[in-house]
Every structure is written in structure tokens, then in C-alpha cells.
Amino acid sequence: MAKIKDSHPKTSSGGYERLLKDKQLASILQKAQSTIISNGTELEKIISNQAEVISDLDLFIDEVNHNLVNKGSYLCTKKIVKKSKYKMDKHEPDFIIFVISGEKTCDVVELKDGDSFDTKKSTSELTSLKEFTNHIAPLIPFIVRFYICCFNQKDKGKIVEGFKKRFTEEQVMTGEEFCTLLGIDYQKIISDREVDAIDNFNYVIKELTKITALKKAMNEEKRKHIKEDDFYKEE
């Protein structure tokens, strides 16, 4: 998981500072928001570092056509797709997973880092997945399917409901299913990210203690709960 302490967000519009009237607290929230946004990219890097990654999609498909590729699971990133003859302007998915076993399957996957859902984008994402699948299917010797994957959600029914049933249960994928396809350890990824979450928590607490206005506000709140006779208790 990305770490808040390593975040260097660009100059903002000052929204957090206007909201809170405190520059230090606004900075913490801005860095946290920037880190949340970058977590998706960070997850993609983690997955790519653990999987068998295709470096040249054109060459890979050519070698498959000539039976030169061993059985296994192979990951192709959006960046590599965009460099290939299989690209489709602005419709490339986050990942393509090629599995060569008894049959050859190709899973076109849009990856979401989370278990919540942006229903405003879901219709366009479904359209893009369908269009890319229809585009690439006639060009490669694989059975092609498409999925949207919510990496941190374990219940496919909740994914379907979260997207207002725009996707069917056959079109959604959990993070665990995604990792199983690639032969990588889902639980290790989750555990490693939880360690980073603890680091983020400790960093935020440390930075909060540096805010003078916050310390003053906390002390004032404590005083509200001190009763007068607490000062004059008789032995």
C-alpha cells in the first residue's frame, strides 16, 4: 500500500484549508487523499511484480500461434497492450490474463482497489470492456471473457449489487479469484498492505500531535469534563 508519509501532492485549490481553517491539518488530509488515489497504481505494481508478465504482446501471441509458450498464466498490463497492434484507443483494460492449459483463455479485467463502487462510471466501464473484448477476440487464439474485479471484496453478490446489477455475477471477480488465476498469493498482498496501513496510522497520529491548535482544542475539551469538586476532594 502507498504510504502517506511518502506522498507529495501537487499544490491544491486550498479546499481542505478553507474547510478546516488550519494549514497543518489540511496538509495531512490532502496527503491522505493523494495516497488513496495512488493506491490503485500501487496495487497494479504489486501484482505485476509477482506475476509472469508479458513484455511484448505481439511476440507473445505469435509464439502462442506457433505453440512456443509453456502452460501457465501470463499477465499483460495496459501499458503493454497500448504498445501492441491489439490496442484500441482509450478502451484498453487494466489487465489481460492469458491462461494456457487444456484450453486457452483470455480474461480482460478492469481492476478496482476497494470494495465500494462508482456506479456513475460503471456503465461506461461495461461498455469499454465489451468493446475491447469484441475487438480482440477475433484476433487471438483464445476464448475471451471480460470481468470487473473488486480486489478487496470477497462476496460477488455484493459486487453485483454495488454496481446496481449492471454487471452479472458471471462478469465480476473477487481479488482472490484474480490472484488464483495468476498463481499469486492474495492473502500475502492483503497482509503486506495491512502493515503499511499501520504505518499510515502511526504517521497521521504523529503529525496530528504537532498541531498546536489541535492540542489546545483537546485540552479545552478535557477541561469541560473536570468537575469543580475534583480539585477539592477531601482525604
Domain extents for the chain?
13-47, 52-185
Burial class (CB in 10 A: 0-12, 13-18, 19+), 216: exposed
Reported confidence tier of residue 230, pLDDT bands at 50, 70, 90: low
**pLDDT interval class at 52 (50, 70, 90):** very high
Q: Which whole number is the average pLDDT over 19-28?
A: 89
More confident residue, 55 or 223: 55
Fold of 52-185: type ii restriction endonuclease, domain 2 (3.40.1560)
Give every CB contact of residue 222 below 8 A, 6+ residues apart in sequence. none
Which one, of 167, 49, 45, 165, lies nearest residue 113 by Cα?
45
CA distances (Å), origin 168, targets 73, 148, 181: 25, 10, 19
Instruction: Output the pTM of the full model.
Output: 0.82
Cα separation, 177 vs 73, in Å, equals 13
pLDDT digits (tens, 9 = 90+) for 56-102: 999 999 999 999 999 999 999 999 999 999 999 878 999 999 999 98
Task: Copy the grid coordinates of residue 98.
Answer: 492469458
Residue 9 is classified by DSSP as P
